[in-house]
Amino acid sequence: MDKFTHCPLCYEELLVVETTPCISCGSSKTSLKILKQDIEENFSHDSINYSIYRAFEKFEVMLCNICTLDFTSVASEFFRFKKEKTINPSDFQFLKIIKNPAIGKDKFCPSCNMRLAYLLFIEKTREINPR
């Protein structure tokens, strides 16, 4: 875990929480419950899967198959892309699936309701899209 103690976007103090590999929904209670159950059951049935993607041709991020689809509903302006740009599944290039995903820890901003890995991804994307 990195040295951050405060949220890079809103400067709220960060908490430490359990997470799945997904940077987007990784701290949600539902995703944690599903992954814990999958680990217990030795991934014996189809469930959420986690993969590494190259986002916007620049950043490697870990996402679950559900959040990858959800990204298309995120306003591109949130990442400071131009208004005309729509976020497409092709903005996330599949690199490889994560075998045996495990529960980890990350910091979490209670105000933004996002984990640090996602906040840093937003921050880095905004940096390549200066206003």
The identity of residue 7, as a single letter, is C
22 lies in the binding site for Zn ion (CB under 5 A)? yes
CB of 26 to Zn ion, least distance (A): 6
3-state secondary structure of 15: strand
**Interacting positions 54-83 with Zn ion (CB under 5 A):** 64, 67
Q: Which lies closer to Zn ion via its Cβ, residue 66 or residue 128?
A: 66
**Interacting positions 111-130 with Zn ion (CB under 5 A):** 111-112
CB of 111 to Zn ion, least distance (A): 4
CB of 84 to Zn ion, least distance (A): 27
Q: Which lies closer to Zn ion via its Cβ, residue 3 or residue 84?
A: 3
CA distance 97 to 100: 9
CB of 37 to Zn ion, least distance (A): 16
DSSP annotation string for 75-118: -GGGGT--TT----GGGEEEEEEPSS---EEEEEETTTTEEHHH
Q: How many chain residues bind Zn ion (CB under 5 A)?
A: 12
Tokens for 63, please give them: 């996402």
71 CB-contact burial (10 Å; exposed 0-12 / middle 13-18 / buried 19+): middle
- Positions touching Zn ion (CB under 5 A) are 7, 9-10, 12, 22, 24-25, 64, 67, 109, 111-112
